[in-house]
With several copies, the nearest count.
Chain A
Amino acid sequence: MTNRAVPDAGTQIEIYRRMALIKANDERSRKVIMTGRLVMPYYSPRGQEVIPSAISVNLTDEDYVCTIYRGSHDQLAKGLPLKDLWAEVAGRTTGTCKGKGGPMHVTYPTKGIMVTTGIVGSTMPIANGLAWASQLRGDGRVTVANFGDGAANIGAFHESLNLASVWKLPVIFVCQNNEWGEHTAYDKTSNVKVADRAAAYGIPGERVDGNDPFAMYAAAREAIERARAGEGPTLIEAMTYRFHGHVFGDQDAYMDKERKARAMADDPVPRFRARLIADGVADEEQLAEIEAGIEAQIDEAVEFALASDFPGVEELKRDVFAEELN
């Protein structure tokens, strides 16, 4: 694969900004939970920052994304405003879903964030439908379906990739292989690479270093261009690592300590930061300013969220159907 697409300087900085945003937001989330200011099931995306950041710079607000409970990185990279996110995970009326969805169901169509789901494997069938809509309209949009390595073993994966292939849908299946599905290591659940399963559907499949912004950018860009050109779906297996336990509170004793230490030492966020500076793409000051801006925005979002109102019980009767229940 020579001559792969390379992000220009501005795009590199934008990828980094999104990564830094995800990392900072994750750290703040864990802190806010730890200090008891908020109670929510929290699935940290720490370690997986590169994937959605390098993908989303190739997308517009009109493109669609479906993601999972471990999805704040995908949402933020796609442009979800921090205030709307924080208010949602705090269960407030000002949240994206009025607090009714919560962290596992964040939805924000304005930025193309169409579905966040808690059911393993379920982004893929729905993503196909979004992509079918684009195909019918010829609007050139693409849909990105995110899922984990564990989800590559569930039936919906198979049905979805096959249908996308047969219908040549403009959809990109992004398997974020963080080596773990809850407490189970990926290599105990499958004897093959996820990317190699693409062949079972006659579609392109690529395993890529999901912690390398350049590799991830190139793979995503090529897949997205193919999709926009009407050449059908792609399966990308983005290799990464889950820095924390499955969910906040999980002590992750089952995770190999050494492997984890190595992954964390290789943290993709400071690594890319250092590279940007080394390559002369950005200087320390510029990045520090970006980071400071992010922190300020998060401060504001958290305070906004916690100061917002909780929904009233009348909301139990709303949004079940179009008409309110009586």
Chain B
Amino acid sequence: MATQTAAKPAKANILQAINAAIADAMESDDNVVVLGEDVADPEEGGVCGVTKGLSSRFGDARVRSTPISEQAIVGAAIGASLVGFKPVAEIMLMNFTTVAMDMIVNHAAKLRFMSGGQTHVPIVIRTMTGTGFASGGQHCDYLEAWFAHTAGIKVVAPSSPRDAYGLMRSAIDDPDPVLFIENLPTYWTPAEAPEKDHRVPIGKANVLSEGSDVTIIAYARMIQEAMPAVAQLAEAGISAELIDLRTIAPWDRDTVLASVARTGRAMIVHEAVTPFGVGAEIGSVLNEELFGKLKAPVKRLGGAFCAVPFSKPLETAFAPQTADIVDAAKALMA
């Protein structure tokens, strides 16, 4: 694990970045605590080892493995947060948020409002998801639209180690609950390492490549599909601007609107199923704010409208791919 070594490596992956972010936050604030299934070291710091080393370093009291009890996990995080702790709770996979929705939606998201501001819930809920490992229908859903539709909780989804570090630090700093979505299949991809104490502000998108013809808005793993698409489009003479949303709620309207106002064309790409997804909200806002100024209808590219299929060719076809993005961009230009 990266956290223990003094010399910062030039490269890190997302898994290491999240680990380092939590470790650095725990180092600087005793109120940061960690809980979830398998998160402590006797349990290897989680199924993928994201929290590895933390319990050895910060003690069993502050880093606790739990029974398989998601309501109890989120509830414990909420309760401790009400009196000054900053818990980082893990709900292993996003599909398992379904057994903790009451705690997340009726309580974490609402206690500040319902108490008239007397209490608040500064928790981070980490959760993994994503297609690509043939896990089938109950292990890969992207459900960010549900939480974005819930007042009182923020939603972030980093696509790089730097952003993962910076967003995790910001999420822990944040006085309100933050759902932190990690894409499982891209955990191990090395990239530029984050520097210590780096912050990525919640609510700020990142323009990954500038362009003038079409704006591609994406996040999480879809950035990896979109990057080569931008290159391919450039070869085809189409100048695409790629925006990594990073925060889904509240999303960065200023950056997105400014870009689309310039390009006149927009496409939103996510792994979640298209209908009633994040793309619907962004598409609606683009149309509301840039009415009459768009050169083509806003395009939404999302997962197929079905459960995530197991069979490899189906799983591959389920989520948008580079070629789909390229084709859609070309269609927008036509």
Contacts and interface: CB of A to CB of B under 8 A. Distances in A.
Do they bind each other?
yes
A114 B135 CA distance: 19
Interface in B71-106: 71-72, 74-85, 87, 95-96, 98-99, 102-103, 106
B67 A189 contact: yes
Interface in B31-81: 33, 37-38, 42-44, 47, 61-62, 64-72, 74-81
A128 B79 contact: yes
A241 interface: no
B68 A151 contact: yes
A132 B80 contact: yes
Interface in B230-261: none
Contacts of B64: 167
A133 B79 contact: yes
A153 B69 contact: yes
Contacts of A190: 67
A325 to B, nearest CB: 6
B107 interface: yes
Contact of B317 (A115, A246, A313): A313
30 contacts: A39-B134, A64-B83, A91-B314, A96-B116, A99-B116, A100-B113, A100-B114, A102-B135, A115-B119, A117-B138, A118-B95, A119-B96, A133-B79, A133-B82, A136-B33, A153-B69, A156-B72, A159-B67, A160-B72, A163-B72, A166-B67, A182-B38, A189-B68, A254-B43, A311-B309, A316-B304, A317-B304, A320-B113, A321-B152, A321-B154
Interface stretch (A14-22, A103-111, A205-213): A103-111
Contact of B79 (A91, A108, A125, A325): A125
Interface size class of B (residues with CB under 8 A): 35 or more
A125 B313 contact: no
A315 interface: yes
A304 interface: no
A121 B138 CA distance: 13
A154 interface: yes
Given A98-B116, A155-B71, A316-B314, 6 more contacts: A100-B113, A120-B68, A184-B43, A316-B304, A320-B151, A321-B112
B136 A105 contact: yes
B7 to A, nearest CB: 26
Contacts of B176: 321-322
B323 to A, nearest CB: 13
A112 B93 CA distance: 29
A92 to B, nearest CB: 7
B312 interface: yes
B115 interface: yes
A64 B82 CA distance: 11
A100 B72 CA distance: 27
A177 to B, nearest CB: 13
B113 A319 contact: yes
B38 A184 contact: yes
Contacts of B139: 104, 118
B111 A115 contact: yes
Contact of A122 (B37, B47, B103): B103
Interface in B254-284: none
B86 to A, nearest CB: 11
A37 to B, nearest CB: 13
Counting chain A CB atoms within 10 Å of each CB, the highest count among B102, B107, B139 belongs to: B102
B115 A320 contact: no
Contacts of A105: 114-115, 136-138, 310
Contacts of B152: 320-321
A163 B69 contact: yes
Contacts of A97: 114-116, 118, 310
